[in-house]
Chains A and B, each alone.
Chain A
């Protein structure tokens, strides 16, 4: 079946530094990928829709200059958290439509801790 690989699975960084998270579709092409954020014991909140070859579409309240999204190929989207602060600590998950009827495959998530 469709597989989405997300890397790294966890990362600890210092305040003020930037962190890049990768999301790859391994056996299918994904023109659109989605980035979600999940706070502890809460649901997933969509941050942005990543479109191959064009600018990402951000949800209301998400700072596009802080959460940089690049979708340069049909199999890779990246989320860069710039100038990270402790409040950015969260679980970030990507997903991609795998071509099946309404099917979306999720990555395994990245736990970001900013100290």
Chain B
């Protein structure tokens, strides 16, 4: 079956530090990959996505590159801010006409001033 494995948290960084949250996946076929962010008490918001190998998704300073050879989609940001504190979920779906999404367990990021 399909699965998503995320780096365990929580992750605590100082403001302006470099962020990496690892995500690897297992899927039959060629999935689309997503990063979602969940702020405290809120629902999920799409952060970025990539639909095919070597695509790079980017948004709000965050980036992730779809690496088929390593089945990875690691999230990175060069300089985090306190406002980036949230839970980050890596997810996959199998193509644009696919059904349900498969989520990783989430990684809690706390950025301290």
Contacts and interface: CB of A to CB of B under 8 A. Distances in A.
Contacts of B45: 106
A71 B105 CA distance: 28
Interface string A33-64: 01000000111101001000000000000000
Interface residues on A, range: 20 to 34
A46 B100 contact: yes
Chain B CB within 10 Å, residue with most, of A6, A106, A108, A111: A106
Interface stretch (B20-28, B74-82, B88-96): B88-96
Nearest to A102: B32
B52 to A, nearest CB: 9
Given A101-B51, A102-B32, A93 B43 contact: yes
A93 B44 contact: yes
Interface residues of B, number: 24
Interface of B: 32, 34, 36, 41-46, 49, 51, 89, 93, 95-96, 98-101, 103-106, 108
Contact of B96 (A34, A49, A102): A102
Contact of A43 (B41, B43, B51, B104): B104
A96 B100 CA distance: 10
A102 B43 contact: no
Interface of A: 6, 32, 34, 41-44, 46, 49, 93, 95, 100-109, 111
